[in-house]
Amino acid sequence: MLERLKKSDRFHKPSGPVVLAIMDGVGIGKYAEGDAVLSALTPNLDALKANYPYTTLKAHGMAVGLPSDDDMGNSEVGHNAIGCGRVFDQGASLVNQAIATGALFAGNAWKEVTGNAVQNQSALHLIGLFSDGNVHSHMDHLKALVKGAKEAGVKRVRVHTLLDGRDVEKTSAHLYVEDFERFLAEVNAGDGFDAKIASGGGRMNITMDRYGADWSMVARGWKTHVRGEGRTFGSAAEAIRVLREETEAIDQDLPAFVIVGEDGRPVGPIVDNDSVVFFNFRGDRALELTSAFEDDEFPYFDRGQRPKVVYAGMMQYDGDKGIPSRFLVSPPAIDRTLGEFLANEGVRMFAISETQKYGHVTYFFNGNRLGKFNEQLESYQEITSDILPFEQRPWMKAAEITDAVIAAIESGQYDFIRLNFPNGDMVGHTGVYAAAEIAVETVDLCLARLMKAVRKAGGVMLVSADHGNADDMFEHEKKTGAVKSEEDGTPKAKTAHSLNPVPCHLYAPANPDAYSKALRPGLGISSLAATCMNLLGFEAPEDYDPSLLETGK
């Protein structure tokens, strides 16, 4: 049974709600050149920093459960940390451990997918994000699976590559292909083992949709990976070169392609009796293709004849629904989250974002748990995202989110409100600097409206972020910090998250003397949970990471 929270003698709940505003992808840049947060017009964030308690928080690497501090944070692990109040080993770390110890290859799921391919003399297909960004997947994991398949006696492996250019440099896919082809040449040498790249395409064009925002992406991926239908090329390297020249798209947006052999036939369609592994460890962009393979009832697009395969995910992507039914590595066991504790104390809660981050402020925030802890106490609202390139609408749905939060504040129905503005992250990923500036300015304008509503209601607001992105829009040389340039001399755009800290502001205009004049330095975003508990009048559990509030009255 969940323990009860202790009422605080130091902090007392304000008359209005406690609001947690997460500015997705808004960090504190290391370099002025390329920092769209710094160059944007942000009078409200500037005023918060100048006039109210402020600190910076760690939001990457080991501070959010990733293997090393060279690993950028992301929205999944960021919202896990914020909502769970502690740091759990995340997908990348868990898969690394499972491979290093051999536990992955000793597990039943791996034995089932490889055993099926051996018994039926069929192919093992590996589908996933083709990079070492370590946000959804890692090339080392893919290579380990290929080697493990060979050792298990599998004779044919087909790899379906989802090109990144989002968590890594925007036009680096050819480098990963070149490296992987060298690896394949080595592993294919002798003894009849045959591993090939079979298909691919940009991750924002095919397969890796999330939250049901655009099922046509998944339909294109199904047609490409499973049916082997689409534009054909003799190699992945040729496909990337030609499609870049024709479309001028960066990797994440490249169209789909199918690899054919000398006979002109696809080298790796997925057919009956094959095995399939989705080697992404992160779940949000793996759920929909998993559903296409596993669900008997499937209304989202016409799959045609669904092949009978043995399917597994790298990890379990949804523990509540048991998706997928077979997985290679167990996910982190997250419990006793902020939301669960607050529901247990009768706290009324409201959570909101638009489609792109709705699952983060609900599912990931609640420790990878779908649904609510208490239907009577919790309300969730999703604002439908536009289906178009985010640089074309950098304001996204921030105004609509703000409208709904203001209505929630004014209703008096909620004690704790959490929201996510996706702009800094989703627009930052496009690499379009001017759009990223507008995205940050949009969030700043919306914060002004929230501040007014919070002040009027006698509430308190924490403003922070889950990781950086818009704060680091140019590629920099690691040693010198100099901006890298394109061939025409323009700055080379960066589309990945940053390794930078994020801001944290405490806005308590109704009773500023109730809290410390400064927030504790040196902590991570996991400390936001204990801070929210304090602001709501509770002491945090002893095993939670420390609150940012040092004193109270």
Say yes or no to pLDDT of 118 above 80: yes
Convert the pLDDT of each residue in 46-60 to its tens digit.
999 999 999 999 999
> And the tokens for 437?
């500036």
Q: pLDDT (tens digit, 9 = 90+) per residue, 465-501?
A: 999 999 999 999 988 999 999 989 999 999 999 999 9
For the residues 113-122, what does the mean pLDDT come to?
A: 98
339: left (phi over 0), alpha (psi -120 to 50) or beta: alpha
Which CATH code is given to the segment(s) 15-90+334-539? 3.40.720.10
Report the pLDDT value the prediction gives residue 551, as an integer from 0 to 100. Answer: 67
Tokens of 432: 């379009």
Mean pLDDT computed over 183-205: 96
CA 21 to CA 240: how far, in whole Å?
Answer: 40
Q: Which CATH code of 3.30.479.30, 3.20.20.140, 3.40.1450.10, 3.40.50.720 fits the domain covering 92-329? A: 3.40.1450.10
For 25-34, write each residue's pLDDT tens digit.
Answer: 999 999 999 9
Phi-psi region of 60 (alpha: psi -120 to 50; beta: other; left: phi over 0): beta
Q: Per-residue pLDDT tens for 359-404?
A: 999 999 999 988 999 999 999 999 999 999 999 999 999 999 999 9
Question: Is 75 assigned a catalytic role?
Answer: yes
DSSP string of 379-432, one letter each residue: EEEEEPPPSS-GGGSTTTTHHHHHHHHHHHHHHT--SEEEEEE-HHHHHHTTT-
Tokens for 13, please give them. Answer: 């709940």
CA separation for the pair 128, 286 (Å, rounded)? 9
Phi, psi of 226 (to 5 degrees): -85, -50
Mean residue pLDDT across the chain: 95
- 271 pLDDT band, cuts 50/70/90, is very high
Joined together, the tokens standing for residue 347 give 């706290």
Percentage of residues of the chain with pLDDT beyond 90: 90
What would you report as the CA-atom Rg of the chain, rounded to the nearest whole angstrom? Answer: 24
Of the candidates 47, 35, 22, the one whose C-alpha atom is nearest the C-alpha of residue 436 is 35
CA torsion, points 519, 520, 522, 528, in degrees to nearest 10? -70
Extended beta strands in 11-77, E state? 18-23, 54-57
> Quick check: 548 and 55 in contact, CB under 8 A?
yes
Q: How far apart are CA 212 and CA 218, in angstroms?
A: 10
**How far apart, in whole angstroms, are the C-alpha atoms of residue 514 and residue 54?**
15
Helix (H, G, I), strand (E, B) or coil at 114: helix
* Beta-carbon count within 10 A of 191 CB: 7
The answer to whether 235 and 242 have CB atoms below 8 angstroms apart is no
Which comes out higher in pLDDT, residue 330 or 244?
A: 244
Contact between 2 and 341 under an 8 Å Cβ cutoff? The reply is yes
Three-class SS state of 294: helix
The residue from 75, 131, 275, 291 that is catalytic is: 75
Give yes or no for residue 318 having a pLDDT over 90. Answer: no
Number of Cβ atoms within 10 Å of the Cβ of 148 = 18
Nearest to 467 by CA among 493, 414, 441, 429: 429
Q: Model-level pTM?
A: 0.84
Q: Which long-range contacts (CB under 8 A, 24 or more apart) does 438-441 make?
A: 438/40, 438/394, 438/395, 439/36, 439/390, 439/394, 439/395, 439/396, 439/470, 440/26, 440/36, 440/37, 440/40, 440/42, 440/470, 441/40, 441/41, 441/42
Is 296 in contact with 308 (CB distance < 8 Å)?
no
How high is the pLDDT of residue 182? 98
Q: Residue 553 pLDDT > 60, yes or no? A: no
CA torsion, points 386, 391, 392, 395, in degrees to nearest 10?
Answer: 60
* Every domain of the chain and the residues it spans: 15-90+334-539, 92-329
Q: Give me the residue label for tokens 């627009």.
A: 427
CB 427 within 8 A of CB 396: yes
